[in-house]
Amino acid sequence: MNNTILIIEDDNDINRMLQILLKQHSYNVVSAYSGTEGLLVHDNEINLILLDLMLPGRSGEDIIRELKEKHNVPIIVMSAVHDVGKKVDMLHLGADDYVTKPFHNEELLARISARLRNSNEYKVSEKVVYKDIELDKSNFSVKCNGKETELSRHEFTLLCLLMENPNRVCTKSMIYDNVWDYENSADDNTLNVHISKIRRKLKECSPDTEYIETVWGIGYRMKK
């Protein structure tokens, strides 16, 4: 079955161009011209969303979280804004990727393909367990020692990466590639802060257990 992509874009020409492009590459397409309309048509049949930021009425920023809550699929934000801070903000809000207008069709198609591939891989195995930590990728929930804890998007992805590779050291470059993906904002300080926050939240659930250990100069791994 072909994947279905929801386009939320108020510019008629761009919306139509995207419809043609995606159909040429065998995607099913649903179009909306405002955030409110996008929320109305978003359902379990949608596999990925292309979301314009500059929408009439409610902005793209306002509806990202609601789209995710209604049916959690990858969201690729489209915007003419080049500011790195804006990109980071969108990713923190729950967007999965960001493409700057005007974009090359080949780049957009590659990003769509990558996000759908990752999404389908997640669906194969939704839960990851290590010791008494249970991570559910279908709803971004984490339980430790039977207690629920809230992680940010990057914290969740980072912990997931470590738990899925319990017998190996996750190098810094590996973590940057898998957790921050296309972003250029990640550095050693960013990584250290995220690790520290994860450790603190897990310790609140299980004060006597250390889950993550540092391999100095290389990266991190789950503690045996």
Q: Are residues 100 and 148 in the same domain?
A: no
- pLDDT number for residue 15: 96
151 sits in which H/E element: none
Q: Are residues 10 and 97 in the same domain?
A: yes
Q: Are residues 94 and 182 in the same domain?
A: no
Where residue 86 sits, what CATH number does that domain have? 3.40.50.2300
d(CA 70, CA 39): 8
Q: Are residues 151 and 208 in the same domain?
A: yes
C-beta of residue 73 within 8 angstroms of C-beta of residue 46: yes
Give Cα 205 distance to the centre of its chain. Answer: 25
3-class DSSP assignment, residue 123:
helix
Q: Are residues 75 and 143 in the same domain?
A: no
Number of domains comprising the chain: 2
- pLDDT number for residue 14: 94
Contacts of 126 (CB under 8 A, 6+ apart): 136, 137, 138
User: Directed axis angle between helix 84-93 and helix 153-164, to 10°?
Assistant: 70
The terminus-to-terminus CA distance of the chain in angstroms comes to 42
Beta-sheet pairing, 28-32 with 4-8: parallel
Burial letters for 54-78: b for 16+ Cβ neighbours within 10 Å, e otherwise? ebeeeebbebbeebbebeebbbbbb
3-class DSSP assignment, residue 217:
coil
Q: Are residues 146 and 85 in the same domain?
A: no
Q: Are residues 115 and 190 in the same domain?
A: no
Q: Are residues 9 and 117 in the same domain?
A: yes
- pLDDT number for residue 86: 63
Looking at residue 166, the DSSP 8-state letter turns out to be T
Q: Within 10 Å of residue 126's Cβ, how many Cβ atoms?
A: 11
- pLDDT number for residue 118: 77
- pLDDT number for residue 119: 72
Q: Are residues 119 and 130 in the same domain?
A: no
Q: Are residues 149 and 197 in the same domain?
A: yes
- pLDDT number for residue 134: 93
Q: Are residues 216 and 132 in the same domain?
A: yes
- pLDDT number for residue 205: 95
Cα–Cα distances in Å, from 34 out to 28, 94, 114, 217, 219? Answer: 19, 19, 26, 48, 43
Q: Of the residues 123, 154, 189, which one is the last residue of a structural domain?
A: 123
Residues of the domain holding 86: 4-123
Which stretches of the chain score pLDDT less than 70? 1, 60, 82-89, 92, 120-125, 181-186
d(CA 35, CA 44): 17
Per-state percent for the chain, helix, strand, coil, to nearest 5: 45, 20, 35
Q: Are residues 53 and 154 in the same domain?
A: no
d(CA 205, CA 188): 26
